[in-house]
Homo-oligomer: A and B are copies of this chain.
Amino acid sequence: MEARRTRAKPGDGARLREEILRNAERLLVETGSEDALTLRAVAQRTRVTTPSVYLHFSGKEALIEAVCLRVWDELGDRVREAVGRVTDPIIALGEFGRAYVHFALDHPVQYRLLMMRPSASAEASKACFEHMVNAVTACVENGVLKGNPDTVALTMWTAVHGCAALLITQPALPWPDDVNEIIDATVRMVGFGAALNTHLPRRRVPRSAELLDGVTVAAERLKALGSKKK
């Protein structure tokens, strides 16, 4: 086994930490499974002996955690950028959802690690969640949504997360040929649904006939508004 060439100078051992982190994510993406993410494999790829990993991470779990943190940051950047491109709050919320799902589909292994591990990192996910709350808050101030922004954002996030998660973990379902169909349908459903849901009284769910009547009216009204403005 060819040993690592140069040893780090005192004080910059963190260089190895970065290298390990990078190799861990590469290994994860290449193999497509976290079972293949072995401390030994990561160490070998970094041309270091296995216990050296313990100099920078307290164990395997901590290494995975660190990889996840990095992905959270990227996700946050991506959705912030998407939201920033538009001014209309409800459109921004839609862009948020689209960017979110697309990021998840672009990094399926990382996303599964992020959201589906037994104990995922709490603080980082909260930070990302804040972005969604902000987008929702803008809608509430605008008047298009009502209610507690936290709760509304949670409800909308669950839907978007479910879309990404199911697309990743259940590819055998009868998805349409173009994934964007489902993403768009989800985004619209969330938008319409949250709008109606926040403005409607909380008491009861309308029966089919009532819902259909109400929807028909809303649909005609929305259609008229849409063609009038365009």
Contacts and interface: CB of A to CB of B under 8 A. Distances in A.
Contact of A193 (B152, B191, B210, B225): B191
A214 interface: yes
A29 interface: no
Contacts of A151: 176, 181-182, 185
Interface in A127-162: 129, 139, 142-144, 150-152, 154-162
Contacts of A208: 88-91, 139, 142, 144
A222 interface: yes
Interface residues of A, number: 88
Given A194-B189, A204-B226, A163 B165 contact: no
Count copies of this chain in the complex.
Answer: 2
Interface in A176-230: 176, 181-182, 185-197, 199-201, 203-219, 221-223, 225-226, 229-230
What does DSSP make chain A's interface, helix, strand, loop or mixed?
helix
Contact of A170 (B125, B166, B226): B125
Interface string A41-63: 00000000000000000000000
B206 A169 contact: no
Given A191-B211, A192-B200, 17 more contacts: A90-B205, A115-B169, A116-B165, A122-B170, A122-B172, A125-B173, A129-B173, A144-B209, A158-B162, A158-B166, A159-B163, A159-B189, A188-B196, A209-B225, A214-B219, A214-B221, A217-B218
26 contacts: A94-B205, A112-B116, A115-B165, A116-B116, A122-B172, A144-B212, A151-B182, A154-B175, A154-B182, A155-B189, A158-B165, A158-B182, A159-B159, A161-B162, A161-B166, A191-B211, A193-B197, A196-B215, A199-B216, A200-B222, A204-B230, A206-B222, A206-B226, A210-B226, A213-B221, A218-B221
